[in-house]
């Protein structure tokens, strides 16, 4: 067990003991999350970059399928185990245990599964535990499986290993888009230049320097390419050893644990004030909370009624305009694609990636802003005509708002072991898992949109003739393809966006309601203490004082050290 994992587990176990018998609530699911959250390292790149070969060399055995065509259609997690076997995860979360030798066969039936977990008796995998490498479908795999894998692992990956072949000679637009998406999700990456043995040392050095300049231009001076030949396991080990799993794990949970500690102290102060105040003051505060609940429901309903006008329609317009600008900005490249061999496939992939990258960036920004606006609006509404609550907590509405905002931004709320069910083409965009975090809601828009893009793009691109000259293709893209894409997006985005905005509003409102109800419980419970003898009141206040001191000391020892 990692040091940070052990410390956080000890902290939560001691917290659990401290809170026994108290009406103060806290998120006990954190105990299980601390114990079971995997540290996933997706390995991404084109199918020709040699990802699977690199991982086979690292493990010291030829297990992952390799070939001149894309062989990895399903993301495959690589776990250490004394016993070797394969778990194929279906879209409904059910697992099918298979022999390791079935890996190639399962990849050929990729539509039946979400992703794979390969358990291998490899000392190399054991040595890097609890880090778990994930062999991702290459950019040359089917567009559907590629998008499916990215949608699943982008929010779950704690660090990405990006592999580009030296034969590319550059960081391609496709790779840059994926790196940008990783950054939008708050992730980090290492960049490997593979197959350096295929070029002379001087040429390999020139390409390395050029890619270093690209990475530093886009991502800052701290990014350096790592050259690697087809047998350089030592170099790959150095890449992995540079990733500090303790620090990664610490960063996943520390903010949530600190926020929870502050919330517990706020609740204790609230309960202490209940005991100190008169029955009349507490009764008034209780009625104020009931009024706050009524006001919350009214405000939520009003926001829901205004959702399309205030949020949905402007958001969709900005998303489509951003995609349109990006498509037009890439017109020369796309026109060139349309005159090459397998033009339709190349265009589908390129346009799909442009839409995906743009939606990710725009939706994340929009959802952050909308959620902040919803929270602020509800908090302001709660403070109206509720001066009575000041006697219990001067910052009660702000505390609720801060806690809600922290929950919505928690990346670790995404990290689960259960698979979500992704839609098939027959009901694309209709069925997908609901989450409460902003990143999750963002993905819940992007995934079904990309499923539908895959459906409608071929028909639109067929408007281009395979014998088009580049200038004619350029005109057709501008006059037919791009308007067709915008039209389709305008048709499909409203239903998906409206549903996810409603989910966002529900998440915000439910969190406010839960915290208000918890305060009502505290008033009801500790008002009884207030009506007892002064000796009992003093004893309870002393208990609260001691509990607050112990919580602060516990946080100082484990969270602020």
Q: Is the pLDDT of residue 551 over 60?
A: yes
pLDDT tens track for 376-395: 988 888 877 566 677 677 78
Q: Which tokens is 165 given?
A: 């072949």
Q: Are 235 and 193 in contact (CB under 8 A)?
A: no
pLDDT tens track for 238-272: 889 889 999 999 998 999 899 999 999 989 988 88
Give the up-direction half-sphere exposure of residue 282: CA atoms within 13 A in the CB hemisphere.
Answer: 23
Averaged over 66-82, what is the pLDDT?
78
User: Which pairing describes strands 131-135 and 39-44: parallel, antiparallel, or unpaired?
Assistant: parallel
Distance of CA 241 to the CA centre of its chain: 24
Which pLDDT value is given to residue 316? 93
pLDDT band at 463 (very low <50, low <70, confident <90, very high): low
Cα separations in angstroms, 131 against 3, 128, 149, 181, 319: 14, 6, 18, 22, 36
Q: Are 164 and 171 in contact (CB under 8 A)?
A: yes
Q: Which tokens is 435 given?
A: 């989450």
User: Which pairing describes strands 189-194 and 131-135: parallel, antiparallel, or unpaired?
Assistant: unpaired
pLDDT band at 69 (very low <50, low <70, confident <90, very high): low
Averaged over 464-469, what is the pLDDT?
57
Instruction: Compute the distance between CA of residue 296 and CA of residue 139 in angstroms, rounded to an integer.
Output: 47
Which pLDDT value is given to residue 472? 82
Q: Are 357 and 180 in contact (CB under 8 A)?
A: yes
* Locus of tokens 């959802």: 367
pLDDT tens track for 390-448: 767 778 788 888 888 887 776 534 334 323 333 343 433 332 233 356 777 777 787 78
pLDDT band at 230 (very low <50, low <70, confident <90, very high): low
CB atoms near residue 495 (< 10 Å): 12
Instruction: Compute the distance between CA of residue 350 and CA of residue 364 in angstroms, rounded to an integer.
Output: 21
Q: What is the DSSP letter of 479?
A: I
The least confident of 155-159, 400-404, 465-469, 553-557 is: 465-469
Contacts of 440 (CB under 8 A, 6+ apart): 155, 413, 414
Which pLDDT value is given to residue 125? 93
Q: Are 37 and 131 in contact (CB under 8 A)?
A: no
The mean pLDDT value of the chain amounts to 84
Which pLDDT value is given to residue 202? 92
* Locus of tokens 């072991």: 417
Distance of CA 124 to the CA centre of its chain: 28
Select from 130, 81, 125 the least CA-distant residue to 246: 130
Contacts of 55 (CB under 8 A, 6+ apart): 43, 64, 78, 133, 135
Q: Is the pLDDT of residue 503 over 60?
A: yes
Averaged over 297-321, what is the pLDDT?
93
CB atoms near residue 134 (< 10 Å): 26
Instruction: Compute the distance between CA of residue 136 and CA of residue 47 in angstroms, rounded to an integer.
Output: 9
Which pLDDT value is given to residue 415? 38
Query: Model-level pTM?
Result: 0.85
Instruction: Compute the distance between CA of residue 386 and CA of residue 291 in angstroms, rounded to an integer.
Output: 8
Instruction: Compute the distance between CA of residue 47 and CA of residue 54 in angstroms, rounded to an integer.
Output: 12
User: Which pairing describes strands 39-44 and 225-227: parallel, antiparallel, or unpaired?
Assistant: unpaired
Q: Are 403 and 511 in contact (CB under 8 A)?
A: yes
Higher pLDDT, 49 or 558: 558
pLDDT tens track for 134-149: 999 877 667 777 778 8
pLDDT tens track for 394-409: 787 888 888 888 877 7
Contacts of 535 (CB under 8 A, 6+ apart): none
Higher pLDDT, 463 or 515: 515
Q: Are 468 and 338 in contact (CB under 8 A)?
A: yes
Q: Which tokens is 390 given?
A: 């000041």
Distance of CA 396 to the CA centre of its chain: 30
């Amino acid at each position: 067990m990692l040091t940070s994992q052990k410390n956080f587990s000890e902290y939560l176990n001691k917290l659990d003991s401290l809170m026994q018998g108290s009406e103060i609530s806290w998120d006990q699911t954190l105990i299980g999350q601390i114990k079971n959250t995997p540290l996933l390292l997706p390995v991404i790149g084109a199918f020709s970059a040699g990802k699977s070969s690199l991982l086979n060399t690292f493990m010291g055995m030829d297990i992952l399928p390799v070939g001149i065509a894309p062989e990895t259609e399903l993301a495959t997690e690589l776990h250490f185990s004394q016993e070797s076997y394969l778990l194929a995860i279906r879209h409904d979360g059910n697992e099918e245990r298979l022999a390791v030798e079935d890996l190639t066969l399962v990849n050929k039936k990729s539509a039946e599964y979400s992703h794979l977990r390969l358990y291998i008796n490899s000392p190399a995998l054991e040595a890097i535990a609890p880090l778990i490498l994930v062999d991702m479908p290459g950019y040359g795999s089917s567009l559907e499986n590629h998008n499916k894998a990215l949608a699943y692992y982008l929010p779950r990956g704690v660090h990405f290993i990006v592999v580009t072949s030296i034969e590319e000679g550059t960081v391609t637009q496709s790779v840059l888009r994926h790196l940008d998406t990783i950054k939008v999700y708050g992730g980090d990456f290492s960049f490997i230049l593979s197959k350096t043995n295929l070029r002379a040392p001087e040429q390999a050095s020139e390409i390395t320097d050029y890619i270093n300049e690209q990475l530093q231009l886009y991502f800052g001076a701290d990014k350096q390419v790592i050259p690697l030949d087809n047998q350089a396991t030592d170099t790959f080990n150095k890449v992995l050893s540079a990733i500090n799993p303790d620090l990664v794990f610490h960063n996943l949970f520390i903010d949530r644990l600190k926020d929870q500690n502050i919330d517990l102290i706020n609740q204790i102060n609230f309960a202490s004030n209940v005991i100190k105040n008169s029955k009349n003051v507490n009764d008034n505060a209780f009625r104020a909370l009931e009024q706050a609940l009524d006001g919350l429901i009214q405000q939520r309903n009003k926001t829901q009624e205004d959702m399309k006008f205030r949020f949905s329609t402007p958001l969709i317009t900005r998303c489509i305009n951003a995609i349109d600008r990006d498509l037009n900005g890439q017109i020369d490249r796309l026109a060139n694609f349309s005159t090459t061999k397998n033009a339709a496939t190349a265009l589908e992939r390129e346009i799909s990636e442009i839409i995906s990258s743009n939606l990710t960036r725009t939706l994340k920004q929009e959802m952050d802003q909308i959620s902040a606006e919803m929270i602020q609006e509800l908090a302001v509404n709660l403070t109206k005509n509720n001066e009575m609550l000041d006697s219990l907590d001067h910052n009660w509405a702000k505390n609720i708002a801060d806690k809600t905002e922290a929950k919505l931004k928690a990346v670790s709320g995404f990290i689960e072991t259960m698979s979500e069910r992704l839609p098939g083409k027959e009901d694309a965009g209709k069925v997908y898992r609901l989450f409460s975090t902003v990143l999750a809601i963002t993905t819940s828009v992007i995934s079904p949109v990309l499923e539908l893009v895959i459906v409608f793009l071929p028909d639109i691109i067929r408007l281009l003739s395979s014998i088009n000259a580049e200038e004619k293709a350029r005109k057709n893209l501008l006059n037919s393809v791009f308007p067709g894409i915008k039209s389709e997006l305008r048709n499909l985005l409203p239903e998906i966006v409206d549903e996810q905005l409603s989910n966002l509003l529900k998440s915000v409102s439910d969190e406010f309601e839960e915290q208000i109800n918890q305060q009502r419980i505290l008033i009801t419970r500790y008002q009884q203490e207030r009506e007892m003898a002064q000796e009992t009141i003093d004893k309870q206040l002393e208990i609260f004082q001691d509990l607050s001191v112990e919580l602060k000391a516990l946080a100082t020892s484990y969270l602020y050290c």
